[in-house]
Structure 1
C-alpha cells in the first residue's frame, strides 16, 4: 500500500502541473503510468487518472471563489449579474463536450488511451501553438476582459474543447487556442479555460466513478487512500501551477509549451519504435 501511495503522490504532482499548463494532463498520466504502474486493478487506474482531476479543479474553486460566487455579500447587483452571466457562458461552452463525451467515452478509452496517439497529439498541438502565437504577435486582442466574452465565443471555445476528448490534446490547450483564435487575450483565454474546467471535470469524474461501480468494482481502504492522496497532492500543486501560469503569460506567450510538446512527443515516438 505504501508504494501505491507514493506512486499516487507522483501522479498527483504530474496532474497538478499538467492540468493547467497546455501540455495535456491525461496524456502525461497515461505516459507516467507506462513507467510507474500502481499495483491495483486496471479499472481503478483508468478511473483514478480522471477522478484525480477533482483535486486539481478544487484549486480553481478556492483561488477564484469570490469571483465565481454569485451569492457573495461583497458584490452589488451588477456584479452578481455579471457572475451569473459568466456561469451561463461556461455552461454553454460545456454542452458540446458533454454531449459528445457521453457518446464516445467508451470508444475513446478503447482506441486512444495509448502511447502512440498521445505522442502524436502532443506534436500536432505543439505545432498549433507555435503557429498561432506567431500569427498572433502583431494582433491586438479584441477581448481583454471576461465581460467582453460573448455567448457565441463561449460556444466556439466549447467546440474546441471537444478536441481534448482525445488524450494528448490538452483541455486547457485546446480551449486556450480556441479563445486566442477568436480574439481573446492570453489572460482572458486562460481564465475562461480554468472556469470551463469546473463542470467538465466534475462531470467526467462523476461519469468515471459511476462506470467503475456499475462494472462491479468497489472501493477498498487502499483504493480510497490512494485516490485521496492523489487528489490532495494535485490540489496543492495546482495552486502553485495556476499562479505560475497566470504570472508567466503576463510577460510571455505559449510558444515554449509548443516546443515542449513537440520535443516530448518526438521522444515518445522514438521510445515506442524502439520498444516495438
Structure 2
C-alpha cells in the first residue's frame, strides 16, 4: 500500500464511518478496484485509522466529553458499549470470514437501504430530544442494536441510529448518541487490533506491524490525520442532511451502491 492508497482508504473511513452507509462495504470495493493487497498491515490500517475518526467526534463535542461533572453521560456510554465488546470478541473470526466475501456485504447494504426508506415514517413521534433524557436501560438497548453492525455492510451508524429512534429518540438525538457511542466502541476495537490481536500471516501484534518500518509509521499517522479531518466534515454534513431530509437520501444511496457492488463482484470484476 502506497501513500495515495492510504489517503483513499482514510478518506473513505472519514466519510462513511458516521454516515449510515457502511464504511466496510466502501473499503472492500475500493481495495478491490485499486488492487490494494489485503496483507496484515492493510487490515490493521483499515481499523486503526478509526482513531482519527474517534478524535473528530471528541473535537466536535469536546464540551460534552470534557464535562466530568456529568458522570451519567459516561455511565450511559460505558453500559451501552458492553454488548458490542462481548459479542465482538465472540464473533471476531466469523466477521473476518464474511469480510472475504463481498456478495453478502452488498446484499446487506441494499436491505439496510430499504429499511432506511421507511424509518422516518415509522418513528414520527419522538419522546426524547436530548441525550440527558436517555436512560441507562435505553442506552443499553441501543448498544444491542449497534451489534447488528457486526454483519459487514450493516453500518454501525445505521444500526445505532435506528435503535435510538426505536427507543423514542428524535433523528437528531439518535444521530448524536450514535456519534457518542462510536467513541468507546471504536476505541475498544482499535486498541484490541493494535495492542492485543495477533495477525495470522505475520504472527505480529498490531503495534509491531506499525513499528516495523518508517513507511508503516508514516502511513499510520497520515491515515489518522486524513480520517480526522474528513470525519469532522462528514459529521457536520450528515447532521444538516437529516435535519432537512431525514434518512431517505441515505436509503436510496445504499440501494444504488449496493446494487452496483453486487453487479461488480458478481459479473464485472
Structure 1-normalised TM-score?
A: 0.89
For residue 124 of structure 1, what is the aligned residue in structure 2?
Answer: 111
**In the aligned structure 2, how far is the partner of 1:216 from the partner of 1:249?**
42
**Residues in 1 aligned to 2:35 and 2:47: alpha-carbon distance in whole angstroms:** 15
Deviation by residue 1:15-51 (Cα, 9 ceiling, x = unmatched):
1110111101122112211112345x61111111111
8 Å CA contact 1:5–1:226 kept in 2: the answer is yes
Q: List alignment gaps of at least 5 residues for structure 1.
A: 72-79
Q: Does 1:100 align with 2:66?
A: no
- Separation in structure 2 between the aligned mates of residue 216 and residue 156 of structure 1, nearest angstrom: 36
Q: Which moved more, 1:19-28 or 1:108-117?
A: 108-117
- Where structure 2 has 5 or more consecutive residues not aligned to the other structure, the ranges are none
State whether structure 2 residue 19 is matched by structure 1 residue 32.
no
**Alignment partner of 1:262 is 2:249:** no
1:272 aligns with 2:250: no
What per-residue deviation string (whole Å, max 9, x for no partner) do you get for residues 53-101 of structure 1? 1111110011111111134xxxxxxxx2xx3111111111101110010
Residue of structure 2 equivalent to 1:204: 189
**Residue 183 of structure 1: SS of its match in structure 2?**
coil
Contact 1:126 1:260 in 2 (8 A): yes
1:23 equivalent in alignment to 2:21: yes
Structural mapping, 1:141-152, within 5 Å? 141-152=126-137
The residue number in structure 2 matching 1:237 is 230
Number of aligned residues: 261
Shift of 1:272: 1.9
**Greater CA deviation, 107-116 or 162-171?**
107-116
Out of 52, 67, 70, the residue aligned to residue 67 of structure 2 is: 70
Residue in structure 1 matched with residue 7 of structure 2 by the alignment? 9
The answer to whether the Cα contact below 8 Å between 2:119 and 2:247 also exists between their aligned partners in 1 is: no
Q: 1:43 corresponds to which residue?
A: 40
For 2:65 and 2:228, locate their aligned partners in 1 and report how far apart those are by CA, in whole Å: 18
Q: Deviations over 1:249-273 (max 9, x none)?
A: 2222011101110111111111122
Output one character per residue of 1:225-264: Cα deviation in whole Å (capped at 9) or x when no partner: 1121111101001111111112222222011101110111
Q: Does the CA-based 8 Å contact 1:43-1:212 persist in structure 2?
A: no
**Cα deviation digits, residues 119-147 of structure 1 (max 9, x gap):** 011011111111222323xx221111111
Out of 45, 53, 56, which is 1:56 matched to? Answer: 53
Residue 216, structure 1, aligned to residue 213, structure 2: no
Q: When the two structures are superposed, what TM-score results if normalisation uses the length of structure 2?
A: 0.92
User: d(CA) in 2 for partners of 1:251 and 1:111?
Assistant: 35
